[in-house]
């Protein structure tokens, strides 16, 4: 810190001895700058011109005041002896200008070497003695005062910085260095101080980031941005801290995902998500991903809505293709405006699925059922009793025929592998699901009645699983007035203006998928569900579970088929069927728990 002691620029009052000024520079620039007094020089008569020439030569050589034969001592003596000499006055003015230039040069150099401040004060001491009232000298002394003041602010700022008082809110090192720059714009020491404050703020931000305190780190970086606006230092630090944050966020996300892979790991994953949300920026995609995966795990295990997959079987084959049905709720049963509805379809009631489930994309096919029979030797109901119900083209009715079983199509001919399996009872369908469970290690079963209607509607609340009363082109294999049998028969009760080109079941999956990615729920073949028959929905489950009574004989059939009247294609339609029934319109699909 620079202290000016006994510093006077004004001449002493007349009749009072002149006080000798001196400057003490303390601290790391400790030194004493004594006051300067010109040496007493006697100039003989007739030597004025010669001495003036000597003074001008010293001035030209840059020797201003170091010795008694330098420019200023000689010119001061000349002025005293010949005060009216114009050439002497001119030379003296040039000497003062050179003195100021020398002082300003020292002030500029003090930014790089503190010793130059002492030289500036030596120059000032000479200037005060030589011409304290000269305007150029006064201006230089003002600049020197500002340099001294800036030095005081700088020393104060450095002390605050060393004590850790940065002044990110107010005061502290930052205020001192800025004050130094106000009194002396461009002061290099103050600029270095600001850089040091900025660096310290950045370091504190990085230390906070290392502790995963990223909100604090952001505050430090925002403070650092204000120290030296426009400099890239803070932006570079932001990128480094953002990388640390990203790495930590990704680490937590991966930890949460790993927890979800462990049985019972959802609570741990939620704790990890809480930690992640504490450090992640709003809207961070990793946080959104983990939250979504936790939500999926809660509702779908390791799957996601709409995902299609198959399970490997112990035999080395694959199970039927499944589609994940999203969890949610719907109003089950016939609406008040449904004039075709029976009392068995009412009352409409709300059903909520807290967890999703996977449903086979299509009905179980002949080929899929064949793998089950080949692996187990299972004998279906139709095989054991030797007959089933088929469509008779000659009469246009359903009729019993011997030798018909799951290997047969709707007319009793050998069925192709990709057709929905027919002529299977509810118990046959259940046996297939149990075999899949044993082969895959997962729980397969028939869908509950509410699961079937929920999947059939796929978010649609209307009378049919499509908008309006007439099927859309992709509705599937249902009875249409434009359909025609091999012998030219037409349906007496069908959807007017509609035709899908099929008389009898189509290969599974030929129709377009619904909004959940499932095929043939509205038509092709009707399907077994797991529920026992009840005459209405009073006291029906509201959680999506099957409504089962031990030992019940009648089961529920759902969904329209290739020969169903339009009223039987309604979303709410249901029918009571003996569990041992086998025929040419009835198949099944399976559901797998997630």
Asked if 184 and 150 count as a contact pair (C-beta separation under 8 A), the reply is yes
User: How much is the pLDDT for 16?
Assistant: 33
Strands 349-353 and 526-532: unpaired
Which phi and psi angles does 305 have, rounded to 5°?
-60, 135
Q: pLDDT of 132-146, one tens digit each? A: 999 999 999 999 999
Q: pLDDT of 258-302, one tens digit each? A: 998 888 899 999 999 999 999 998 999 999 999 988 988 888 888
- Asked if the model's pLDDT at residue 9 lies above 70, the reply is no
Helix (H) or strand (E) holding 291: helix 285-300
Q: pLDDT of 92-103, one tens digit each? A: 999 999 999 999
Beta bridge partners of 349: 332
- Asked if the model's pLDDT at residue 25 lies above 90, the reply is no
User: How much is the pLDDT for 483?
Assistant: 95
pTM for the complete prediction?
A: 0.64
Say which residues have a Cβ less than 8 Å from residue 281's Cβ, sequence separation at least 6: 245
Separation between Cα atoms, residue 122 and residue 124, nearest integer Å:
5
Q: pLDDT of 156-178, one tens digit each? A: 999 999 999 999 888 999 999 99
Structure-token pair, residue 20: 């000798």
């Amino acid at each position: 810190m620079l202290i000016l002691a006994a510093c006077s620029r004004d001449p002493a009052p007349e009749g009072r001895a002149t006080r000798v000024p001196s400057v003490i520079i303390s601290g790391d620039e400790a030194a004493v700058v004594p006051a300067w007094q010109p040496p007493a020089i006697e100039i003989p008569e007739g030597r004025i011109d010669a001495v003036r020439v000597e003074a001008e030569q010293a001035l030209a050589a840059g020797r201003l005041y170091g010795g008694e034969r330098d420019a200023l001592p000689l010119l001061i003596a000349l002025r005293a002896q010949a005060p009216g000499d114009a050439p002497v006055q001119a030379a003296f003015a040039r000497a003062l200008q050179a003195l100021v230039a020398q002082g300003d040069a020292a002030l500029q150099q003090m930014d790089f070497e503190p010793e130059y401040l002492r030289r500036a004060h030596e120059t000032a001491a000479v200037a005060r003695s030589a011409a304290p009232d000269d305007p150029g000298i006064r201006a230089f002394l003002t600049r020197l005062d500002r340099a001294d003041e800036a030095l005081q602010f700088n020393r104060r700022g450095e002390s605050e910085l060393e004590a850790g008082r940065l002044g990110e809110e107010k005061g502290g090192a930052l205020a001192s260095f800025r004050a130094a720059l106000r009194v002396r714009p461009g002061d290099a020491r103050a600029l270095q101080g600001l850089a040091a404050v900025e660096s310290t703020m950045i370091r504190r931000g990085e230390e906070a980031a290392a502790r995963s305190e990223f909100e604090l780190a952001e505050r430090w970086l925002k403070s650092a941005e204000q120290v030296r606006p426009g400099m890239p230092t803070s932006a570079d630090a932001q990128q480094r801290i953002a990388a640390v944050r990203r790495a930590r966020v990704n680490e937590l996300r991966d930890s949460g995902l790993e927890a979800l892979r462990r049985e019972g790991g959802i609570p741990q994953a939620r704790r990890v998500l809480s930690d992640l949300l504490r450090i992640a920026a709003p809207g961070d995609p990793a946080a959104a991903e983990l939250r979504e995966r936790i939500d999926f795990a809660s509702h779908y295990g390791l799957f996601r809505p709409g995902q299609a997959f198959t399970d490997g079987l112990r035999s080395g084959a694959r199970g039927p293709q499944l589609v994940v049905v999203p969890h949610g709720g719907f109003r089950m049963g016939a609406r008040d405006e449904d004039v075709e509805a029976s009392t068995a379809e009412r009352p409409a009631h709300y059903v909520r699925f807290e967890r999703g489930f996977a449903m086979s994309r299509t009905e179980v096919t002949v080929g899929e059922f064949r793998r089950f029979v080949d692996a187990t030797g299972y004998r279906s109901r139709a095989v054991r009793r030797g007959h089933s119900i088929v469509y008779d083209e000659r009469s246009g009715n359903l009729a019993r025929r011997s030798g018909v079983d799951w290997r047969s199509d709707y007319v009793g001919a050998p069925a192709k592998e990709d057709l929905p399996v027919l002529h299977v009872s509810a118990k046959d369908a259940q046996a297939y699901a149990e075999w899949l469970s044993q082969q895959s290690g997962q729980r397969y079963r028939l869908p509950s009645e509410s699961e079937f209607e929920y999947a059939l509607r796929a978010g649609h609340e209307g009378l049919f699983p499509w908008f309006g009363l007439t099927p859309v082109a992709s509705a599937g294999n249902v009875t249409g007035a434009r359909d025609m049998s091999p012998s030219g028969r037409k349906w007496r009760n069908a959807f007017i203006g509609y035709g899908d080109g099929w008389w009898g079941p189509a290969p599974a999956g030929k129709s377009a998928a619904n909004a959940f990615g499932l095929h043939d729920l509205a038509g092709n073949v009707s399907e077994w569900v797991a529920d026992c028959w009840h005459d209405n929905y009073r006291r029906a489950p509201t959680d999506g579970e099957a409504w089962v009574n031990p030992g019940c004989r009648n089961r529920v059939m759902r969904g329209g088929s290739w020969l169903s009247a339009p009223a039987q294609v309604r979303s709410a339609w249901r029918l009571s069927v003996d569990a041992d029934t086998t025929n040419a319109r009835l198949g099944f699909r399976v559901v797998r728990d997630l």
